[in-house]
Amino acid sequence: MTDKCTGWAIVATMERPDKTTYTETITDIDDSTASIVDDFLTEYCEMKEENNDTTNKWTLWIAWRKQR
């Protein structure tokens, strides 16, 4: 059975002017971005299942991008 993503957020590493960093979780996302990410995650889970969870996440991302 394929995993199903039930929620997500963008996690960004931010750099201040003094070069220190912090992590910011972004949950307020516009509809067009959310739709693209939802599509990506759905296909990511399907490809992950098809490849028996052994394929590198970047390989899956590249394959997804080529399908678009």
Torsion of CA 48, 50, 56, 62, to 10 degrees: -90
Residue 68, pLDDT above cutoff 70 = no
Q: State if pTM tops 0.75.
A: no
Cα–Cα distance for residue pair 44/3, rounded to 1 Å: 10
pLDDT in tens, 21-66: 999 999 999 999 999 999 988 888 888 777 766 656 666 666 666 6
Q: Average pLDDT for residues 3-29, to the nearest whole number?
A: 93
